[in-house]
């Protein structure tokens, strides 16, 4: 990137940057501290912000309008007769820009927001976390200050003193979980985006999948919910996205990492055992999360019984255990299902006693799985 000369105003806002190769960027701010216009080598660019301090219009030669929900989804320029669609990942980073069926731009980022690969046909300044990347400085404009993804640090001190001892650190050194669109305060990006989705009356299919993926990631990383909390969360997510998307997403969790996190939080109810005691250990579903064609009917019937006692068979600790990776067989699953069916036949309705009996079956067969 080379050396650059920076100038600041009395509010510690960057007003001018001159790079070693002669490029000049000039920034101007309004009374609310937002950059309402800038010059890039003499080319004037102006911005209009909404009440969330997000850009909703940009003018270079003509005005471009931006359409937003929880993220940037489209832009429109009436003069140029263009309408672009934006695709984002679960962190809000722009991954693709399309016009109709044609993909015009494509981006990949490292964890800190540096663009590691891009194909760019049309001009676009919104990139990592959906924030503006200035082409001259290669820094992100995050309202109160600027962020350099190459060094993973802000270029100015944080004026808020409550977000850690290092006043230049970005997102508590954890950009996978946090964002800082204001330049002042790290926010759990996934939870912020979930809240935005939940405030919408209805979601598109892609938004439903993103919403569920965000929750799946939080469940895996935190590993701090018991079965009743997971059941409540399951009901909430399914009400928003439906059973199919929920199931298809949750079975893709990294169950090894998830099981480790459950054990760290003392939420794993089955017998704990060291990995070194097991041959080829892996996170094992006692009642399998899915099955091959000859197992599918058994798996589905067992899962139905587990669901009837308000336990999620995919993510609840009761159905997870560390065991040798010996494969999923009919002979191993059949006796579990038989015992669960006996319980179901004798106690068709939900009760605490029925739940305890189902958990007891899962615990016993979990220990058998560990001994194989």
What span, in angstroms and rounded, lies between the C-alpha atoms of 167 and 154?
A: 8
What span, in angstroms and rounded, lies between the C-alpha atoms of 268 and 259?
A: 7
Tens digit of pLDDT at every position of the chain (372 positions): 568 999 999 999 999 999 999 999 999 999 999 999 999 999 999 999 998 899 999 999 999 999 998 789 999 998 889 999 999 987 889 999 999 999 999 999 999 999 999 999 999 999 999 999 999 999 999 999 999 999 999 999 987 765 667 899 999 898 987 888 888 877 777 787 888 889 888 999 988 998 999 899 889 988 999 999 999 999 999 999 999 999 999 999 999 889 988 988 887 766 555 544 555 567 889 999 987 788 999 999 999 999 999 999 999 999 998 877 666 788 999 999 999 999 999 999 999 999 999 999 999 998 888 776
- Sequential DSSP letters for 234-252: HHHHHHHH-HHHHHHHHTT
Dihedral of CA 337/342/344/345: which sign?
positive
Specify the pairing of strand 281-285 against strand 178-179.
unpaired
pTM score over 0.75: no
């Amino acid at each position: 990137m080379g050396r650059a000369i920076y100038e600041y105003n009395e509010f510690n806002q960057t007003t001018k940057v001159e790079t070693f190769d002669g490029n000049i960027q000039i920034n101007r701010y309004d009374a609310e501290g937002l950059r309402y216009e800038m010059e890039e080598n003499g080319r004037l660019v102006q911005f209009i912000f909404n009440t969330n301090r997000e850009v909703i219009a940009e003018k270079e030669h003509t005005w471009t309008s931006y359409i937003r929900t929880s993220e940037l989804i489209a832009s429109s320029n009436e003069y140029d007769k263009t309408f672009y669609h934006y695709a984002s990942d679960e962190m809000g980073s722009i991954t693709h820009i399309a016009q109709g069926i044609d993909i015009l731009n494509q981006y990949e980022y490292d964890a800190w927001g540096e663009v590691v690969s891009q194909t760019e046909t049309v001009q676009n300044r919104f990139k990592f976390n959906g924030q503006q990347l200035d082409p001259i400085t290669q820094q992100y404009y995050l309202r109160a200050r600027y962020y350099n993804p190459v060094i993973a640090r802000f270029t100015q001190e944080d004026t808020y003193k409550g977000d850690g001892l290092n006043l230049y650190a970005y997102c508590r050194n954890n950009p996978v979980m946090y964002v800082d669109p204001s330049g002042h305060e790290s926010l759990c990006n996934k939870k912020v985006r979930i809240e935005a989705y939940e405030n919408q009356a209805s979601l598109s299919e892609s938004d439903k999948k993103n919403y569920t993926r965000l929750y799946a990631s939080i469940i895996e990383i935190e590993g701090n919910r018991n079965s009743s909390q997971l059941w409540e969360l399951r009901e909430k997510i399914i009400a928003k996205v439906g059973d199919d998307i929920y199931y298809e997403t949750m079975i893709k969790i990294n169950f090894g990492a998830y099981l480790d996190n459950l054990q760290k939080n003392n939420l794993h109810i089955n017998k704990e055992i060291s990995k070194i005691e097991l041959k080829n250990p892996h996170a094992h579903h006692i009642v399998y999360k899915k099955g091959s064609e000859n197992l599918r009917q058994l798996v589905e019937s067992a899962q139905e019984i587990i669901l009837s006692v308000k336990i999620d068979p995919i993510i609840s600790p009761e159905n997870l255990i560390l065991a040798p990776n010996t494969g999923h067989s009919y002979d191993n699953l059949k006796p579990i299902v038989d015992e669960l069916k006996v319980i179901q036949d004798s106690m068709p309705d939900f009760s605490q006693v029925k739940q305890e009996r189902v958990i007891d079956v899962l615990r016993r067969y979990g220990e058998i799985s560990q001994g194989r």
